[in-house]
Amino acid sequence: MVLSWIDWLIILGFLGLSWYLSTQYHKQKLVDLNDYFLGGRNLPWYVAGISIVATTFAADTPLAVAEIVALNGISGNWIWWNALAGGLLTAIFFAKLWHRSGVLTEAELIELRYSGKPARFLRRFKGVYLGLFMNSLVIGWVNLAMISIVQVLLGITESQSFTIVAGLMLFVTAYSTISGLRGIAIVDVMQFSLAMVGSLILAWFVVSSPEVGGVDGLVSNLSDKGTLNFFPQLGESSDLSQIYVVPLGSLIGFLAFQWWASWYPGSEPGGGGYVAQRMMSTKTDKDALKATVLFQVLHYCVRPWPWILVGLAAIVLYPELASDEKRLGFVYAIRDFLPTGAKGLMAAAFLGAYMSTISTQINWGAGLLINDVLLVKEKKQTNQLKLSRMISLLLAVFALAVTTQLTSIKAVWEFVFQAGAGLGLVLILRWYWWRVNVFSEIAATIAPFVTYFWLQFTESGKQFRQSLGGGYDYIFVVLATTLVWLFVTYLTRPEKTATLLKFYEKVRPNGAWSVVGHKVNYSDLVKKFSTWIALTIMVYSVLLIIGKIIFS
């Protein structure tokens, strides 16, 4: 047993505080689905923004960053740093639009933007696809990471760890169903604050240890391998004995395509998922914008460097770890270098990171299933809330069952990433181009699946992927998907003018909407583009400057 009674006391106190804060918001009676899934559309912008960051700070995230750093150096983080441009694009161009739409879920937007039986089908399909299938995969990989953490910290078997994580997940489901989104968001703020404090304490103890020798020790041990480079080098080898290099195709995919072309949970182009949910939960459309910008700044500038430092230290401390075990270096560092009390604090921080993600995923997924699959709006409001809580519990049980079938976090990541390649452009343009119709989105949803499975599981596809070279298979999927949905768009009829007019009058997007008599305000678009580019440069600059200061 690695944890002492003091550590257990801290953990139990944290769990009790989470339950207390959540139940306090239960006293503010939930009236309807808006209260349960959007906090009554009355969340302060800073609470909404921090809540998004807390959700993305899952138990698997620090482990994933540590693994990236161990295998690919600091520059390997561009696999997710590249998404900043897309995140700020969402904030500047789409946050206000989501808030004005007045929808309860992202799938409901489909029947506001499109019409007819195809729109009803797509809405229900997206409700099941996102709320049940993709959501369960996300919860599953977060559970896998938490199982690894529990197993190492407590020194128990994998099956015992699963039992503990299952109990913890049901505990989270219980308090999140009691309070709804309002309570979840407030608890998120506390959990994120604790998680960041714990990460900073861990980085301090590990890096300053005699075995590592401080930042100077890291530099002397790792600089000759290129591990400390902020930017990758072009090449065809990723041997850690040399400077980390990436194929040109991968670099192009990361920097030129991935941030706008791929749907991925938490970084959907044009907004979506729990990000859109938090946008719609704020008081005004300006608050939606501020919440989303705050999320991007905290996500990219504040969070990563403690994780990166621990990941770098783990290279020095645990050189014997195999490639598929590198992520455990972060957990071993907690076990081996934190004193009593600090270890309990870090364990509580991991619990907070895990709980904030699970509570949001359960609430968001249940919202899709209730609002877009079961369509319970016509029922009594008390029945709506009862059914919402029941669906939340069933979703949690289903996600636990999915967890038992998963073996690799990386494999799930790759599948989810490839399954959304090319969908992003439709999700962006449906707000700004009237000609996008329901069949455009259906085609863009199906095409990457078909292309991905051809490349991965057929002989001709495998040969073609091999001939393309590293990274170009992803670019091929994006381009193929784009060509397919554009072809389908012009092959099918546009949406009815009445539908387009209703959407335009409610959302007021400034784009190519001449069909409803709108003239583009180019000065407004120039202002938005300038703001987006300036903010992107600023946030990247702060991210890199912090790194330069750390490593002198």
- Please compute the mean of the pLDDT values over residues 256-282 and round it to a whole number: 88
Q: Give the residue carrying structure tokens 């190519």.
A: 512
Q: Give the residue carrying structure tokens 């400390």.
A: 228
Decide if 527 is inside a domain: no
pTM to 2 decimals? 0.91
State how beta strands 233-234 and 245-246 pair: parallel
Decide if 71 is inside a domain: yes
pLDDT at 462: 86
User: At 245, is the secondary structure helix, strand, or coil?
Assistant: strand
- Please compute the mean of the pLDDT values over residues 301-321 and round it to a whole number: 93
pLDDT at 380: 63
List CB contacts of 415: < 8 A, sequence separation 6 or more.
137
Give helix 45-56 / helix 158-207 axis angle, nearest 10°. Answer: 110
pLDDT at 391: 95
Domain of 299, in residue numbers:
5-407
Residue 260 confidence (pLDDT) above 90: no
Helix, strand, coil content of the chain in percent (nearest 5) = 75, 0, 20
Residue pLDDT, tens place only, 365-386: 999 999 999 876 655 666 788 8
Residue pLDDT, tens place only, 489-540: 999 999 999 999 999 999 999 999 999 999 999 999 999 999 999 999 999 9
Tell me which DSSP letter residue 282 carries. Answer: B
Residue pLDDT, tens place only, 157-212: 999 999 999 999 999 999 889 888 999 999 999 999 999 999 999 999 999 999 99
| CATH code of residue 199 | 1.20.1730.10
Decide if 238 is inside a domain: yes
Residue 222 confidence (pLDDT) above 90: no
288 to each of 100, 280, 362, 504, 506, how far by Cα in Å? 10, 7, 22, 19, 16
Decide if 433 is inside a domain: no
- Give the closest residue to 127 by CA, choosing from 367, 357, 450: 367
Q: Give the residue carrying structure tokens 């075990």.
A: 325
- CB 374: neighbour CB atoms within 10 A? 16
* Exposure on the CB side of residue 332, measured as CA atoms within 13 A: 17
Helix (H) or strand (E) holding 445: helix 438-457
pLDDT at 532: 96
Residue pLDDT, tens place only, 272-306: 999 999 999 999 999 999 999 999 999 999 899 99
235 to each of 239, 382, 470, 472, how far by Cα in Å? 11, 61, 10, 14
pLDDT at 241: 44
pLDDT at 1: 52
Give the pLDDT band of residue 265 (cuts 50, 70, 90): confident
Rounded to the nearest 5°, which phi and psi values hold at 360?
Answer: -70, -45
pLDDT at 240: 42
Tell me which DSSP letter residue 515 carries. Answer: G
114 to each of 48, 61, 435, 511, how far by Cα in Å? 29, 36, 11, 17
Amino acid at 534: A
Decide if 474 is inside a domain: no
Region of poorest pLDDT, from 13-17, 116-120, 240-244, 437-441: 240-244
Decide if 122 is inside a domain: yes
Question: Could you tell me the maximum CA-CA distance found in the chain, to the nearest angstrom?
Answer: 70
pLDDT at 461: 86
User: Residue 319 burial (CB < 10 Å; 0-12/13-18/19+)?
Assistant: exposed
∠255-89-491 over CA atoms, to 5°? Answer: 85
Decide if 352 is inside a domain: yes
- Please compute the mean of the pLDDT values over residues 310-322 and round it to a whole number: 92
Look over the chain and give the mean of its residue pLDDT values, rounded to a whole number: 89
Region of poorest pLDDT, from 235-239, 391-395, 429-433, 474-478: 235-239
∠523-528-532 over CA atoms, to 5°? Answer: 150
The number of folded domains in the chain is: 1
- Give the closest residue to 10 by CA, choosing from 342, 358, 353: 342
User: At 433, is the secondary structure helix, strand, or coil?
Assistant: strand
User: At 422, is the secondary structure helix, strand, or coil?
Assistant: coil
Decide if 460 is inside a domain: no
- Pick the more confident residue, 150 or 437: 437
∠278-279-282 over CA atoms, to 5°? Answer: 85
- Pick the more confident residue, 299 or 250: 299
Q: Give the residue carrying structure tokens 């015992």.
A: 160
pLDDT at 208: 95
